[in-house]
Structure 1
């Protein structure tokens, strides 16, 4: 099964990491994979474009089936391999509804994180505006307080949709991982810190930890330290 799968991916990309965690959770190791460099623009190579005409990563193929959007890949794999590995859509109606809610809120969460980091790293200093920096960070701070509250309500040791690890955790945890990589304070956001500490110990997350993070564990700890 996994031998018929191909994944083209980039290190530190939340969408790529979602797919990698998903493959691990569904016990689909042994797939064909290739790590590409964003810095070298390898995601715009013909190899990628042949699978993903948008020139984006991840690019995923299973036999003759192509699914490139990370949420789509996760849904596809859960549907095709629902009786294999971890069951990631709970049967309980309340938990299932909460899972879907948190999954799609996760897109907004990721967007707000990316906006702050993108402005810091890719907008030239001469083109930055203090008002934009302030506005972006305030939007992210509001978002962080929402997620802190969600976890507070669920109680200690909970995942995003309740007591079980679900698709919501597969797709949202990489965003949380990026936050702490870039210096988010676990003292200021203790529930997010607890959640990060819980999920990062899962075998699927350890197995897919971004390789350049392994090489440089410290990361960019100043970017979000003031949030």
Structure 2
């Protein structure tokens, strides 16, 4: 099955990492995965555009089926391979509802993290404002306190939607990974720090760890040190 799959991806991209983790959890490691460079603008290559006219990564194809949005790809893989690998949608109704809630809140979380981490990447130098960065950091701090509260309510050792690893963790952990890559304080946010420490050693996460993070274990730790 996995031999009919193609994933074009970029290192360190949370949307790409979501699909990478998903493939590991569903035992689809034999998927044809091709690493492309954002710096070299390979995501705008014809190879990508043939699958994804937006010129974005990830770009995912299974046979003749194309699902490029990372959440969509994760839902698709869980649906098609629900009896293979890790069961990622809980049977318990309350936990399932919480999983869906956290998954889609995760999109807002990712946007607020990205507004700080990728500000210099996306905003031209002449248009950057210290006031905008300050405001983005304040907004992110408020968001982080919200997630701290969610995890505190669930209790020690919990995942994002309860006692088991679910689709919520597949899609949210890459955002959390980027937070700590860019210097978030585990002392200031102990629940998120504990969650990161718990999930980062999961085999699917280790197997899909961004290659350039392995080459350079320390990221730009100044970015989020004061958030």
Q: CA deviation at 1:127?
A: 2.9
Which residue is 2:97 aligned to? 97
In structure 1, the residue corresponding to 2:113 is in which secondary structure?
helix
In structure 2, the residue corresponding to 1:164 is in which secondary structure?
coil
- Per the normalisation by structure 2, the TM-score is 0.98
Which residue is 1:6 aligned to? 6
Q: CA deviation at 1:125?
A: 4.6
Counterpart CA distance in 1 for 2:165 and 2:120 is: 33
Which residue is 1:213 aligned to? 213
Post-superposition Cα deviations, 1:148-180, rounded to whole Å, max 9, x if no partner, equal 000000000000000000000000000000000
Q: How many residues were matched structurally? A: 227
Give runs of aligned pairs for residues 45-84 of structure 1, distance below 5 A.
45-84=45-84
Which residue is 1:141 aligned to? 141
Q: CA deviation at 1:128?
A: 2.1
- Per the normalisation by structure 1, the TM-score is 0.98
Counterpart CA distance in 1 for 2:145 and 2:70 is: 25
Give runs of aligned pairs for residues 195-214 of structure 1, distance below 5 A.
195-214=195-214
Give RMSD over aligned pairs: 0.9
In structure 1, the residue corresponding to 2:6 is in which secondary structure?
strand
Q: CA deviation at 1:62?
A: 0.4
Unaligned runs of 5+ in 2: none
Which residue is 1:150 aligned to? 150
Off by >4 Å, runs of 4+ in structure 1: none
Q: CA deviation at 1:123?
A: 3.2
Give runs of aligned pairs for residues 16-27 of structure 1, distance below 5 A.
16-27=16-27
Q: CA deviation at 1:31?
A: 1.0
